[in-house]
Amino acid sequence: MTAFWVAAALLAAAVLVLLLRPFWRSRDASTISRREANLAIYRDQLRELDADLASGLLAQADYERARRELEARALQDAAQEAPQAARSGRALPWGIGAALPVLALAVYFMVGSPGAISPQPDPHAAVAHQLDGLIERLAARLREHPDDVDGWKLLGRSYVVLGRFPEAADAYAKATARAPRDAQLLADFADALAMARGQQLAGEPEKLIARALEIDPKNLKALALAGTAAYARKDFAGAAAHWEKMLPLVPPASEDAREIRADVPEARALAGKPALAEKPAAAPRQLRGTVALAPGIKGQAAADDTVFIFARAAEGPAMPLAVQRIKVRELPASFALDDSMAMAPGMSISAHPRVVVVARVSRSGKPTAQPGDLQGISTPIANNAQGVAIVIDTVVR
């Protein structure tokens, strides 16, 4: 028994090492730099608000409202980010480390047989025996309560996991008798029945699939099985048609989408049909324009100084909605700001109909405005304006 506990401890330690190793790596520098940049930009925007008030661009009421929104957002971000960083950096791995063995022991002593450690020579057989026992208890309960549809579904899934497909098909049959309009259940039943018949979808499994699609034409599993069944009987056009219907239902960048995009052309080629033309992605909403240095202050900027070009809401939070960075030596230059440059969810150009564009030469290379920096600010414009001309002509005081 002592040997068992020693082996269990070593195994738990090995598992913990594998689980926690990603958390011991240094944090992503981009996360740190983004936090610093956000804080710097908050300070920067506060300076801009003060400057706009002093210059008369903002009324006192608008200034107070914008300042409150800016301070509230800064406090909210700081309150959220610090605990999250602490949790992700320390609490999460240690929480996993503490919870994993405790949970394992709790589950073991609740459903296992601790007293059987010493006399049981084959732990794998013991685990299999316990699983079989749990499933048999579920089956016995369902014999007493045969109208429990969810119970029959769970029993069917359990048998599938164990590879006991005839029993899984029988459980699913009992479930479908009580829930005949459940498309997902019909697809699961067809899958288990096909596996029980040597991976053959022809016959009863295919009828079940057709019923599932009649109830829910967008059921992914039913569409996948229908395509597989059509492919097996060499109906390649039908297979392609079923699989093509799956593409709009899965995330475009997912592994499922990649597999479907590989299978559909093959089926279409076997059917003698041309490949489907890929639809071009819609171009993002962009705010375009140019930035140039005023002739009178060109001598105050070095070629390697950083130029920050960003858009912020004309009315609303002062946080930048999109940011682009270039060097002074690239001026005059064109810029394009869009939602892909958003710094926070929901804070995008398209979410604000009117924006202001700021271009600033930063000698320090940081987004925070410093005395001596050079900048230019547009008037409020539409978030998809084209040909916006920003002239950097003001020295930050």
Q: What is the 3-state secondary structure (H, E, C) of 80-124?
A: HHHHHHHHHHHHHHHHHHHHHHHHHHHHHHHHCCHHHCCCCCCHH
Q: Is 191:153 a contact under the CB 8 Å cutoff?
A: no
pLDDT at 380: 93
pLDDT at 52: 65
For the cut 60, the answer to whether the pLDDT of residue 79 exceeds it is: no
Q: By mean pLDDT, which of 4-8, 127-131, 197-201, 310-314 is the weakest?
A: 4-8
Q: What is the CATH number of the domain that holds 229?
A: 1.25.40.10
Phi/psi-derived region of residue 316, left when phi > 0, alpha when psi is between -120 and 50, beta in every other case: left
> Residues of the chain with pLDDT > 90: what percent?
30
pLDDT at 272: 85
Taking Cα atoms as reference points, which of 217, 230, 159, 220 lies closest to residue 192?
A: 159
Position 275 in a domain: no
> Residues of the chain with pLDDT > 70: what percent?
63
For residue range 323-380, list pLDDT tens digits in order: 899 999 999 999 999 888 876 666 788 888 899 999 999 988 887 788 889 999 999 9
pLDDT at 181: 92
347 in the same domain as 243: no
Q: Which long-range contacts (CB under 8 A, 24 or more apart) does 191-194 make?
A: 191/160, 191/221, 191/225, 192/156, 192/159, 192/160, 192/165, 192/168, 193/165, 193/169, 194/225
302 in the same domain as 386: yes
Q: By mean pLDDT, which of 59-63, 242-246, 253-257 is the weakest?
A: 59-63
Domain boundary among 54, 82, 111: 111
Side chain identity, residue 243: W
Question: Within 13 Å, how many C-alpha atoms sit on residue 177's CB side?
Answer: 10
Containing structural domain, residue 237: 130-270
Q: Return the ∠ at Cα 131 (arms to 126 and 136), rounded to 5°.
A: 125
For the cut 80, the answer to whether the pLDDT of residue 95 exceeds it is: no
317 in the same domain as 373: yes
Position 250 in a domain: yes
pLDDT at 94: 42
Helix/strand/coil for 193: helix
What's the pLDDT band for 31 if we cut at 50, 70, 90?
very low
294 in the same domain as 356: yes
Q: Which two tokens stand for residue 292?
A: 């140039």
390 in the same domain as 360: yes
385 in the same domain as 292: yes
Domain boundary among 46, 81, 111: 111
290 or 161, greater pLDDT = 290
Position 278 in a domain: no
C-alpha–C-alpha distance, residues 342 and 312, integer Å? 11
Position 368 in a domain: yes
Position 125 in a domain: no
C-alpha–C-alpha distance, residues 289 and 390, integer Å? 8
C-alpha–C-alpha distance, residues 385 and 349, integer Å? 11
264 in the same domain as 134: yes
What's the pLDDT band for 26 if we cut at 50, 70, 90?
very low
248 or 88, greater pLDDT = 248
For residue range 370-392, list pLDDT tens digits in order: 888 999 999 999 989 999 999 99
What's the pLDDT band for 298 if we cut at 50, 70, 90?
confident
For the cut 60, the answer to whether the pLDDT of residue 80 exceeds it is: no
pLDDT at 63: 67
C-beta atoms surrounding 260 within 10 Å: 20
What's the mean pLDDT in 214-231? 92
What's the mean pLDDT in 265-289? 74
372 in the same domain as 302: yes
79, with CB counted inside 10 A (0-12, 13-18, 19+), is exposed
C-alpha–C-alpha distance, residues 356 and 388, integer Å? 10
Position 32 in a domain: yes
61 in the same domain as 25: yes
218 or 51, greater pLDDT = 218
Taking Cα atoms as reference points, which of 86, 46, 78 lies closest to residue 64?
A: 46
Q: How large is the angle between the packed helices 204-215 and 220-232, nearest 10 degrees?
A: 140
Q: By mean pLDDT, which of 25-29, 197-201, 268-272 is the weakest?
A: 25-29
pLDDT at 121: 52
pLDDT at 228: 93
Position 121 in a domain: no
Q: What is the mean pLDDT of the chain?
A: 75
Separation in Å, CA 30 to CA 35, 38, 110: 9, 12, 45
What's the mean pLDDT in 44-66? 67
255 in the same domain as 173: yes
Q: Which two tokens stand for residue 247?
A: 């593409």
For the cut 90, the answer to whether the pLDDT of residue 71 exceeds it is: no
Q: Which two tokens stand for residue 340?
A: 């892909």
Domain boundary among 111, 142, 158: 111
145 in the same domain as 261: yes
Position 364 in a domain: yes
Taking Cα atoms as reference points, which of 174, 184, 186, 191 lies closest to residue 218?
A: 184
255 in the same domain as 293: no
For the cut 60, the answer to whether the pLDDT of residue 33 exceeds it is: no
Total domains in the fold of the chain: 3
Taking Cα atoms as reference points, which of 204, 276, 206 lies closest to residue 240?
A: 276
